[in-house]
Structure 1
Amino acid sequence: MATVEANESNFESIVTSDIAIVDAWASWCGPCRAFAPTFEAESEKHDDIVFAKLDTEANQGLAAALEIQAIPTLLAFREGILLYRESGALPPTAFADLVQQLKDIDMEQVRKEVAAQNAAADAEAADTQSPTQD
């Protein structure tokens, strides 16, 4: 599958795919341009993954919302859950390994961990909001 362009109107539908990898980049960025062929080549090998390019210059609001501070930045999602986020271009073998790890991850375990984290955060929020007695 060739890469798709990510933007503010389609970003949510992209990242809620089974597996999606987003390359946040800009045309003036040398490392971004150097990584582009690696990203494109890997996208051709995996019809079951959405490979999306997010132009941070054309989508500054989305880049800010994602807190992209350095480019290139790779974001990898499974079922809408962010599993990987790292700035810097990966060599082809490392990128291929990342893609395989995303395919192999146990999403049932990930969902359990996310639920536990959310429950802990909810409990902490409830504790900070309850009045204390002196």
Structure 2
Amino acid sequence: MSNNLTQVTDATFQAEVLESDKPVLVDFWAAWCPPCRAMHPILDELSGERDDIKVVSVDVDANQGVAAQMQILSMPTFLLIDNGAEALRLIGSRPKRKLVAELDEALTARV
């Protein structure tokens, strides 16, 4: 697992994600999921490059409460949470270029 990403747990999700003062990209992943592992370096890069969003990571096996609360059914799932609400849901791995485009589109649509 990468070093730049904050690991969020059932206990810290509310404070780290829902109460964040900037949009948060949450990576819901599992250790047994190869596409999830493939996304970690991309998310790590993104976290280092962007200061307009926070990138965090949730291990769904260890944090089933949050996964259930957010209705995560497949991995990886990426949620963009803005002001405590889901602004974007992306399912499955994708190239960095596509992820950045999808994020930028969602962030541009913010009011």
What CA RMSD, in Å, does the superposition of the two structures yield over aligned residues?
Answer: 1.3
**Residue identity matched to 1:24:** F
User: Identity across aligned pairs (percent)?
Assistant: 30
Contact 1:24 1:74 in 2 (8 A): yes
Unmatched runs of 5 consecutive residues or more in structure 1? 108-134
Larger RCO (CA within 8 A; separation ≥ 6): 2
- Residue 39 (1) aligns with residue 52 (2): no
Tell me how far 1:47 sits from its aligned partner.
2.1
Unmatched runs of 5 consecutive residues or more in structure 2? none
Tell me how far 1:93 sits from its aligned partner.
0.4
Contact 1:19 1:102 in 2 (8 A): no
- Residue 68 (1) aligns with residue 68 (2): no
Runs of 4+ in 1 over 3 A off after TM superposition: none
2:6 corresponds, among 4, 7, 27, to: 4
TM-score by length of 1: 0.73
Tell me how far 1:5 sits from its aligned partner.
0.8
Query: Greater share of helix residues, 1 or 2?
Result: 1
TM-score by length of 2: 0.87
**Residue identity matched to 2:11:** S
Aligned residues: 106
